[in-house]
Amino acid sequence: MQKWSYICGVKVITQIQDNTKYMIIRKIEIVNFKNIETAELEFSHKLNCVVGLNGQGKTNLLDAIYFLSLTKSALGTPDSIVKGQTNDFFMITASYQDENLTKNETIHCSYKTGNGKIVKRNGKEYPKLSEHIGLVPVVMAAPNDNYIISEAAEIRRKFINAMLAQIDGNYLNLVVKYNLLIANRNKLLKNPTANSDEIIEVLDMQIAPIAHKIHLARQEKIEKLRPIMQEIYGGISGQKETIKIEYISELTNDSLENLLQQNLPKDKILGHTSVGIHRDDIKLIINNHSIKRYGSQGQQKSLTLALKLAQAKLIFQEKQIKPILLLDDICDKLDPDRVKALLKVVCNEDFGQIFISDTCGKRIKDVAKQIGEDCKFFEAQNGNFKHKKSLTK
């Protein structure tokens, strides 16, 4: 099936794939989430635009939607801070429907001081939060995403883990088990006992096969991510540069069994495990050079956007579920040509429901026109949101 649409004044054809699935967030209720004291909003099934000055709650609304899918803030804000200093709890509840409006889901996330976090699906609490991840996939792109490039390898591992956790329900369990075993190994390395060597040997036998599975999963998905990311970046940049993503792991050339055994004397001196998939990284390259060292701010911004959009498309390809796409102030740091190219990518039918925030009402209205789908506009002010029929400022 084909659909005609206008992108930046150019008539293009997009392919509509039949029998695909995605979840639509129809209604959300928020209490005490950051600067949002109370909010109750109903959304469009396709495009939702939120406008407001910085600090008025745009990002917090998108973060609440992200929280419902991954049970944590996209910005890394601890739950105890999310609720604010004067409150002892926060709560987010949302109702979802599938694209055919035949399936309904209600997700509830709450946190209370002293009681911790609770996540419920249709009124039933999850025994483990990890069981919820992937039910409603979500991808968020934000102005500070350049930290994926500039910060330490741990940040890029978290990106990989978040992506794979939404694709494979068992992946997160493997990572949790691996980290627990490594923590126990490190305790023995730092504070050895009479039978430490025997216990470490047993731990190593448990660690190695789990690490192997994680390594294979990361390697496979990054190889699949690479061409998607290259295609999207080419569209955003106008084919001006070539980019590449590489998976860096010590397990690529050797087994973890051998690495742990070879490095045990050094690990005893260091007091921690110096080899393993907890040291993995991804290398981002532009025109055969490290983008961290040689990429401009515009190139880095375009690459992180391509990385996030490629993540969304890979989730769709792997699960046949279109993720909710959250685009927070992404137009602010891009030149007009790249904004137009980005919108052309976003119009692709591989994306489901879209939320876009911006400080400029006119710009976000132009964005809505170019996407050309059913749209709702919201204005954010001091943590409150008003549904607007149109935006002019």
Each of the 393 residues of the chain gets a pLDDT tens digit; together they read: 334 444 344 333 344 344 546 788 999 999 999 999 999 999 998 889 999 988 999 999 999 999 999 999 998 899 999 998 889 999 999 999 887 767 889 999 999 999 999 999 999 999 999 899 999 999 999 888 888 998 999 999 999 999 999 999 899 999 999 999 999 999 999 999 989 999 999 999 999 999 999 999 999 999 999 999 999 998 888 777 889 999 999 999 999 999 999 999 999 999 999 999 999 999 999 999 999 888 888 888 889 999 999 999 999 999 988 999 999 987 776 777 777 777 777 766 667 899 999 888 777 777 777 766 678 999 999 999 998 876 555
6-14's contacts with Cβ under 8 Å and 24+ in sequence apart are 6/370, 6/372, 7/340, 7/343, 7/344, 7/347, 7/370, 8/340, 8/343, 8/344, 8/370, 12/344, 12/347, 14/347, 14/348, 14/349
User: Would you mind telling me the total number of residues written for the chain in this entry?
Assistant: 393
Residue for token digits 């990284």? 281
**What's the confidence (pLDDT) of residue 9?**
41
Q: List Cβ neighbours of 171 (8 Å cut-off, separation of 6 or more).
A: 161, 164, 165, 214, 217
pTM reported for the whole predicted model: 0.87
Q: How far apart are the first and last CA of the chain?
A: 37
Q: Could you give the 3-state DSSP secondary structure of residue 206? A: helix
**What's the confidence (pLDDT) of residue 215?**
98
In the chain, the domains with their CATH numbers are: 1-137+323-393 (3.40.50.300), 144-318 (1.20.1050.90)
**What's the confidence (pLDDT) of residue 175?**
96
| C-beta atoms surrounding 81 within 10 Å | 11
**What's the confidence (pLDDT) of residue 13?**
39
Q: Quick one: CA torsion of 69, 72, 74, 77, rounded to 10 degrees?
A: 160
